[in-house]
Structure 1
Amino acid sequence: MKRFLQLFFCSAVIVAVSAYVIKPAESYQYNFQNPALTIEQRVNDLVSRLTLQEKVGQMLNAAPAVERLGIPAYNWWNETLHGVARTPFKVTVFPQAIGMAATFDVNALHQMAEYSADEGRAVYNESIKQNHRGIYLGLTYWTPNINIFRDPRWGRGQETYGEDPYLTASLGKSFVTGLQGNDPVYLKAAACAKHYAIHSGPEPTRHEFNTDVSNHDLWETYLPAFHDLIVESKVAGVMCAYNAFRGEPCCGSGILLNDILRKQWNFTGYLTSDCGGIDDFYQKHKTHADAEAAAADAVLHGTDVECGNVTFLSLTKAVEHGKITEQQIDVSLKRLFTIRFRLGMFDPPGKDKYAHIGANMLETPEHKAHALKMARQSVVLLKNQNNTLPLSKTLKRVAVIGPNADNPISVLGNYNGMPSEISTPYKAIKAKLGNSADVYYDQAINYTSSSYTRNVDMGEMGSIDGQKGFKAEYWQNSTLSGKPDVTRMETAINYIWRDGTFVVGQVSQKNFSARWTTNFTAGSNDDITFELTGNKPYRLIIDGEERTLSGEPDGFGPKTYTLKASKGKTYGIALEYRQTEGRATFAFKSGVAIKSDLNAIVQSVKNADAVVFVGGISPQLEGEEMRVNLPGFNGGDRTSIDLPKVQTDLLKALQNTGKPVVFVMMTGSAIAIPWEAEHTPAIINAWYGGQSAGTAIADVLFGDYNPAGRLPVTFYKSDKDLPDFNSYSMENRTYRYFKGAPLYGFGYGLSYSTFKYDGLNVPVVSRTGKTIPVSVKVTNTGKMAGDEVVQLYLTHLGLGYTAPIRSLKGFKRIYLKKGESRMVTFNLTPKELAVVDDRGNIIKAPGKLRISVGGSQPDTQTRASHKTVERVVAIKG
């Protein structure tokens, strides 16, 4: 049998290789089609055949086809922040980036990126088969976001790997190498480091603000991760930021782009603007007279692709007016086509080893298992007074309450895809305890107020033709006329259809229409509000009558209609949608307005054996340039880091019941919880944990997984700890420069076990330019096996210029059985030992160096659970 399998696999390889045969050069119409030539030769040939107008068209994110040369259309814009995002396919959704940072596991992140590349290739290959080449279907992913999360108020900080340059660089490099693959010629997918550089809010002014930082902060904090991804990991792309730096828009910055990126770092990949960023040159920053000047200057500074707008089309006039030459435009074209050739887009399938990846690679068991693994790894245990956790599985009644207890939107974060299944905390706890316990759920409150909307799920409560849900009908016309091209049952209506994508089956995004119908029987006398969101035209029809919708005047905001329902009455619900061009979005939901009764909530949990409150915030409140203006939030950012008062009030009431209370916090950023830290017996931070978030939380709560996540950001005590949000100075920011006492420090996290550090071995004396070996013995002294995150920090003593209080320069996540010991080693290279002086020079400084190794930072807050060992080394010049 073994011999048979060997022969079978050998034969398969021979067949695969023999299927691709290089044809004679004369059989190709153009040299760029010949895979026997080098990529450089092919790119030069292709670019030489394009007209100026064709060249300029290729510099837009939606690059059109050049049919006369057989060059297909391509859209550069795609996302895979924590799994392939915004695709019409069902995909695996891993924890949000900030949650993956909390794992402190470069190997797990590398594997996640490999799996994301597999799923991205599957989406691309399947789309090409159907000649769909629109947005979110390509192989150039504008990820990772390696901006430094300098201020917890920034709503997009959830997309980053936290506040520390070393952790960010380590994880970013791991992501890039996992996504791009290890082939010497071909890219599995193309990563893109963003947003270059010095960019981290505020969101409402991101298109117009100008920032400046000291050279020390520039080279010590804001540039190291970009350097490492570009120089060491060879990231394929870079995205320049919206804001200006020292008076120049980042996409036209001589310092950032010409001097540092291209000359010092020798970056040869492609550079894309952020979406709409070139328009900002003359519309927001007012640094350029018009579109022509903006486009020419951006390209002269190395920006190759314009996303979101068509300012680059003015490049043809810029050439005519002598502001730029066609040869200078060719430089950008060659970079762009080099990437496309490296992605195998002009080669026969047999030559590109990634072209065979198909739809069977979407949501594989291995991918789902890894999403669960990383969700578990990301959970940070912040407090566990009197061993409140883990909870016993013999509990008979558990109350699971709060705005995130059963909210599938929150667990997915932003820049996400959609999986086939989503696990919420309530559903996972209910599944874990099964029929042995009564698991009670109540949303109880909204995030910021005591009023909320109880979902009335028409997909679950409605039915038609004997089946639950909506009958969905799709036509390849905009008039809902004739026989539907596709008819199927659906349980939810929440769609984003992009240019060039398909809606369902062979129904394409442009010029289509749809109708969803169901019958709903009201279970009570309620005022049910129906909410429709998307671009018009759409209609709501109840019992054959179109209902007038109210809401925001523009075409995208939510529109509502309130039905006074009568208990027992059945209503025929129909939704109609028409689309002729542009991006199409449509979502529908319904619910009943509820005013919370605090006393009723307290009474409802009095018989519970334990109360799990799942709160925090949500990607519905924090994120990119959002329409949110609620107490504590503004435009995607936060105006306060305090946990909303309504949640603290509810936690106080729950605490007064005398029941064991566990606070499960979901967030993409640091939340100030001083009352909870003092009074709530158990607190875990679960971030936005992806499709398996609920299962991971339940596993930690009931002891099936020993938590070992660590904070990648500082949790401050209050807003008073924060400098001005608009200031990019690092003074008193992040653990590296913060002079106060945090609520929970960077690198902090508890375990159900305890760990002992001893036997630190470090040379007493070393010399500049030499590597310093460090080793330490770590022992699991607790009663439960689990992971420990070993962290190494450096403090340079007695420097005569600005320096961090301490800096992370090494970490390893290890697994130890009960009673097991392991020697953990680090090698501090000259790069890690170097410091940045006040002028921004990276130097090898002699002097005294404190090396600290432990399970967290070497501060008094964590000594009880994470013993830190330290040694001072003399560095001789």
Structure 2
Amino acid sequence: MASSLSSLLPLLLLSLTSFAALSLADYPLPYNFTHVCDAKRYASLNLSIPDFAFCDKSLSYYVRAKNLVDSMNLTEKAKQLGNNNNGEWYAVAAGVPRLGLPAYNWWSEALHGVSYIGGGTSFGGPDVKAATSFPLPINSAAAFNATLWREIGKTISTEARAMNNLGFAGLTFWSPNINLVRDPRWGRALETPGECPTTAGIYAINFVRGLQDVEGQEHSNDPNSRPLKVSACCKHYAAYDVDYWRTTGSMTVDRFHYDANVTERDMVESYLKPFEMCVKEGDVSSVMCSYNKINGVPACADGRRMRGTIRDEWDLHGYVVSDCDSIKTIFEKQQWLDDTAIEATAQVMRAGLDLDCGWYYAQYLEETVKKGLIKESDVDEALINNYIVLLRLGWFDGNPLYDNLNASNVCSVDNMKLAASAARQGMVLLKNKGDALPLSPQKFKRIAIVGPHANATEVMIGNYNGVPCRYISPIDGLKKYAEVDYKCRGCRCAVGLNLTYEREDWDRTGFDLPGYQNHLIETVANVSKGPVVVVIFSSGTINISSFVKSGDVDAIIWAGYPGQEGGQAVADIIFGAYNPGGRLPVTWYPSEYTSQIPETSQQFRPNDELGYPGRTYRFYNGTTQFDFGYGLSYTKFSYSFVNPNVLVTKNVNNARQCYNFLPFEDKQLTDVPACQSALVSDLDCTAGDVSVQVSVTNVGKLDGSDAVMLYAKQPQGLIGAPIKDLVAFERVFLKAGESKVVSFEIDACKRLAFVTESAQEVLPQGEHTLLVGDQKLPVYVHLQKEV
């Protein structure tokens, strides 16, 4: 090997392999009509459309949905709320032929492109053979570009609408996954926007808005009548981040039995925050409850968190659906309260579950009503919630805005360009010793690639995928710049991880590369005389500390799961056609982290008594391989705050009283204000009351983009406050030597709040600090006695 590599560049691809996805449903797709309330369609059924008030467009959506539900008997109602084949995981409403109501499969997925998971969508025939496969969310999140996230959502929904017109897709997509990566061992980290609640929330808002919003009708005085392009679903609610964890002993913990022991403080501050933002600001039309229990109560049976929080407090305009077979899980695996199947069905209906991805509702709801465990009006309410969403989607009436979409709108050149741009933006340069990258195409006309996934295709699109329009493997991409010598074709020393190690229903036990992979990398790096670049395909933390320190490894790129265009993105970064600007959306901990804290510890703050170092950039107090938000560029950026300070004044009075129970390190401090804080719920909160301008300058020699990340710190001495908290970010492109001013408009109540140990959200008085790079800006919060 030494002689063959002496003058070549070995490019090690640490990649992932694909795994078998859920099988397609056996149901034929029932989308062989333009819309339900089509007069010709009703005539073909020997029915008269004027006989059915739910087809009367002059009536409100609520009245129409209620009329439809009132027209059904109890048996028919139950068959619309879940699957009708025992043992099946789908959510196919049976329809009511005598009313002209067809069947509908509620379950489609669009995590990073239209997927075949769920049976509501399929690929085939001459019209729809594929759809654009974007990077996995963990990659897209690394771009820290809200505009990109919205554009991805818009493009996916356009393809979905086109496929719906052609009879290959539904209109309800159970995406995105916005659970936090509390622990990087979690197998589903690749599906999420990472560990930061604010990032996950902003991702949810923009991705959902991209999927759902009809241009020009983004807001409405009556949100339940606001039209939808497609319906999105924020999942999995809540505190779901364990799939299948094994200890060094014989103990295992799986998601079906797991009871997440979570404090209310952590729920309010972390676990619920992305969902609150998704519902309140994203106006999502669906939320999915998770398998796990929370403090002893199954998530799908928790009326306080479902009906009480999602619908009553956050004002959900849509429906709540179970993760698939959750009711069965409650009965068979969790054996909660020793309920029978009928009693478990009643529990979730009372809690506010509108739709069952499974067969328990269809099987047991009718009997549940007849036994008096729930009221028939509970069933009616669930059905109305569901049908209002379908009315907003145009399933009943059609939507002329999208009638012209067809196969030409799927896998279009522009869509694939966006996928390539997303892949480039989401890759992170972790090491670049001596500016080894970018490579010059004129100097490096021949390169060697070592690793079995240099020709990766399926590996790049991860899970919850569809059929991609095409694959551009790393070899394909690199061939555009140089002659490629593939040195490890067919070898079985797989480098990196694969979805055997991180996937749904499986968690990792550690961060080390399995097998002899470290040895392979070391061997190749030692014998090569050219620059050595390690490219990592994974969802997050891998123990590469020795290669970070090694003088034999010149550069390291984290490529994640970059989608169908991933190979081109890798090549463009290596040869400098694109200047990397991605930032890590998760903390990369050292390998010993896995022995310091069990995956099942739900708390974020450190516990010195147990030796727990805490979790995520907000609370972790140990050393890292790479920090959250870390990422290099081929150029350099400098920052400065334009405004010298910010003053925020909020009035307090007899109705808005001071909350003086904050824990300070030294209760004798003279700078602890007499009015320590006020409840956020008591204050007049204004969006943009903290206005900040940051001047960003590209001080290097190359053009490039930068994610400007704005953090906040609480007043000094406040016990339990995060080390820092990301409050805003914006991606900006700058030519070499160019400066731009980035403006951030922040709501102090949302972004500067402190969550007390008793889960009260308060706004502390005093000096807060905003951080960007190494720059600091004081923000003074003044609680003023109202006269």
TM-score (norm 2): 0.81
- Tell me, what secondary structure is at the counterpart of 1:353? helix
How far did 1:845 drift? 0.9
Asked whether the 8 Å contact 1:776–1:823 carries over to 2, the reply is yes
CA deviation profile, 1:297-325 (whole Å, cap 9, x unmatched): 11111101111333542111111111011
Segments of 5+ residues of structure 1 without an aligned counterpart are 1-18, 453-614, 626-635, 855-867
Asked whether the 8 Å contact 1:430–1:439 carries over to 2, the reply is no
How far did 1:248 drift? 1.1
How far did 1:669 drift? 2.2
CA RMSD of aligned residues (A): 2.1
Which of these residues, 777, 780, 787, is aligned with residue 871 of structure 1?
777
Say whether residues 1:648 and 2:518 are aligned partners.
yes
Say whether residues 1:305 and 2:185 are aligned partners.
no
Equivalence for 1:426: 475
Equivalence for 1:743: 625
CA deviation profile, 1:4-23 (whole Å, cap 9, x unmatched): xxxxxxxxxxxxxxx999x9
- Tell me, what secondary structure is at the counterpart of 2:51? coil
Letter in 2 for 1:110: R
Say whether residues 1:199 and 2:243 are aligned partners.
no
Within 2, Cα distance between the matches of 1:804 and 1:760?
Answer: 26
Which of these residues, 601, 622, 639, is aligned with residue 757 of structure 1?
639
How far did 1:445 drift? 4.8
Say whether residues 1:52 and 2:69 are aligned partners.
no
Asked whether the 8 Å contact 1:642–1:719 carries over to 2, the reply is no
CA deviation profile, 1:194-220 (whole Å, cap 9, x unmatched): 000010113361011111211211111
Equivalence for 1:535: none
Equivalence for 1:157: 189
- Tell me, what secondary structure is at the counterpart of 2:516? helix
Asked whether the 8 Å contact 2:164–2:170 carries over to 1, the reply is yes
Equivalence for 2:486: 440
Task: For 1:81-100, list aligned pairs within 5 A.
Answer: 81-86=111-116, 87-88=122-123, 89-100=129-140
- Tell me, what secondary structure is at the counterpart of 1:162? coil
Task: For 1:248-259, list aligned pairs within 5 A.
Answer: 248-259=297-308
Equivalence for 1:616: 496
Which of these residues, 553, 564, 573, is aligned with residue 700 of structure 1?
573
Within 1, Cα distance between the matches of 2:415 and 2:349?
Answer: 40
Equivalence for 1:334: 384
Asked whether the 8 Å contact 2:243–2:504 carries over to 1, the reply is no
Equivalence for 1:281: 330
Segments of 5+ residues of structure 2 without an aligned counterpart are 1-37, 83-90, 117-121, 124-128, 221-225, 245-252, 606-613, 651-684
Equivalence for 1:103: 143
Which of these residues, 492, 499, 507, is aligned with residue 637 of structure 1?
507
Asked whether the 8 Å contact 2:701–2:736 carries over to 1, the reply is yes
Within 2, Cα distance between the matches of 1:375 and 1:792?
Answer: 24
CA deviation profile, 1:228-280 (whole Å, cap 9, x unmatched): 11111210000000001121110000221132112211223101000111101
How far did 1:835 drift? 1.5
Say whether residues 1:715 and 2:588 are aligned partners.
yes
Asked whether the 8 Å contact 1:344–1:352 carries over to 2, the reply is no
Equivalence for 1:121: 161
Residues 391, 20 of structure 1: alpha-carbon distance in 2 compared, 3 angstrom cutoff: farther
Say whether residues 1:43 and 2:65 are aligned partners.
yes
Equivalence for 2:415: 367
- Tell me, what secondary structure is at the counterpart of 1:871? strand
Letter in 2 for 1:624: E
Letter in 2 for 1:191: A
Say whether residues 1:175 and 2:45 are aligned partners.
no
Within 2, Cα distance between the matches of 1:419 and 1:63?
Answer: 29
Within 2, Cα distance between the matches of 1:34 and 1:303?
Answer: 28
Within 2, Cα distance between the matches of 1:747 and 1:411?
Answer: 23
- Tell me, what secondary structure is at the counterpart of 1:120? helix
How far did 1:765 drift? 4.2
Within 2, Cα distance between the matches of 1:438 and 1:825?
Answer: 45
Which of these residues, 524, 535, 554, is aligned with residue 681 of structure 1?
554
Within 2, Cα distance between the matches of 1:243 and 1:713?
Answer: 23
Letter in 2 for 1:795: K
Say whether residues 1:657 and 2:534 are aligned partners.
no
Within 1, Cα distance between the matches of 2:395 and 2:101?
Answer: 10
**Higher RCO, Cα 8 Å, sep 6+:** 2
- Tell me, what secondary structure is at the counterpart of 2:110? coil
Within 2, Cα distance between the matches of 1:250 and 1:205?
Answer: 15
Identity of aligned residues (%): 36
Letter in 2 for 1:265: W
Task: For 1:130-145, list aligned pairs within 5 A.
Answer: 137-145=169-177
- Tell me, what secondary structure is at the counterpart of 1:746? coil
CA deviation profile, 1:166-205 (whole Å, cap 9, x unmatched): 1111111000111002335321100001000010113361
Asked whether the 8 Å contact 1:240–1:273 carries over to 2, the reply is yes
CA deviation profile, 1:528-566 (whole Å, cap 9, x unmatched): xxxxxxxxxxxxxxxxxxxxxxxxxxxxxxxxxxxxxxx
Equivalence for 2:437: 389
Asked whether the 8 Å contact 1:186–1:352 carries over to 2, the reply is no
Residues 393, 355 of structure 1: alpha-carbon distance in 2 compared, 3 angstrom cutoff: same
Within 1, Cα distance between the matches of 2:449 and 2:198?
Answer: 38
Within 2, Cα distance between the matches of 1:339 and 1:764?
Answer: 43
Asked whether the 8 Å contact 2:186–2:508 carries over to 1, the reply is yes
Residues 227, 811 of structure 1: alpha-carbon distance in 2 compared, 3 angstrom cutoff: same
Equivalence for 1:236: 285
Equivalence for 2:126: none
How far did 1:759 drift? 4.3
Asked whether the 8 Å contact 1:404–1:616 carries over to 2, the reply is no
CA deviation profile, 1:323-360 (whole Å, cap 9, x unmatched): 0111111000100111111111111x4x5422332222
Asked whether the 8 Å contact 2:445–2:481 carries over to 1, the reply is no
Task: For 1:571-586, list aligned pairs within 5 A.
Answer: none
Say whether residues 1:839 and 2:721 are aligned partners.
no
Residues 56, 20 of structure 1: alpha-carbon distance in 2 compared, 3 angstrom cutoff: closer
TM-score (norm 1): 0.72
Within 2, Cα distance between the matches of 1:819 and 1:711?
Answer: 25
Which of these residues, 305, 308, 319, is aligned with residue 369 of structure 2?
319
- Tell me, what secondary structure is at the counterpart of 1:427? helix
Say whether residues 1:377 and 2:425 are aligned partners.
yes
More strand by share: 1
Within 2, Cα distance between the matches of 1:764 and 1:83?
Answer: 42
Letter in 2 for 1:342: R
Within 1, Cα distance between the matches of 2:580 and 2:593?
Answer: 31
Asked whether the 8 Å contact 1:760–1:869 carries over to 2, the reply is no
More moved, 252-261 vs 228-237 = 252-261
CA deviation profile, 1:761-802 (whole Å, cap 9, x unmatched): 242544346722221211111111010111111111335442
Residues 369, 318 of structure 1: alpha-carbon distance in 2 compared, 3 angstrom cutoff: same
Equivalence for 2:610: none
How far did 1:397 drift? 2.7
CA deviation profile, 1:343-382 (whole Å, cap 9, x unmatched): 11111x4x54223322221101110010000001011000
Within 2, Cα distance between the matches of 1:248 and 1:355?
Answer: 45
- Tell me, what secondary structure is at the counterpart of 1:168? helix
CA deviation profile, 1:798-855 (whole Å, cap 9, x unmatched): 354422110000111000001101111212212212111111111111122121112x
More moved, 106-115 vs 416-425 = 416-425
- How many residue pairs match? The answer is 655
Asked whether the 8 Å contact 2:459–2:561 carries over to 1, the reply is yes
Asked whether the 8 Å contact 1:723–1:733 carries over to 2, the reply is no
Within 2, Cα distance between the matches of 1:293 and 1:271?
Answer: 19
How far did 1:422 drift? 0.3
Within 2, Cα distance between the matches of 1:421 and 1:259?
Answer: 45
Residues 420, 266 of structure 1: alpha-carbon distance in 2 compared, 3 angstrom cutoff: closer
Equivalence for 2:616: 734
Letter in 2 for 1:439: D
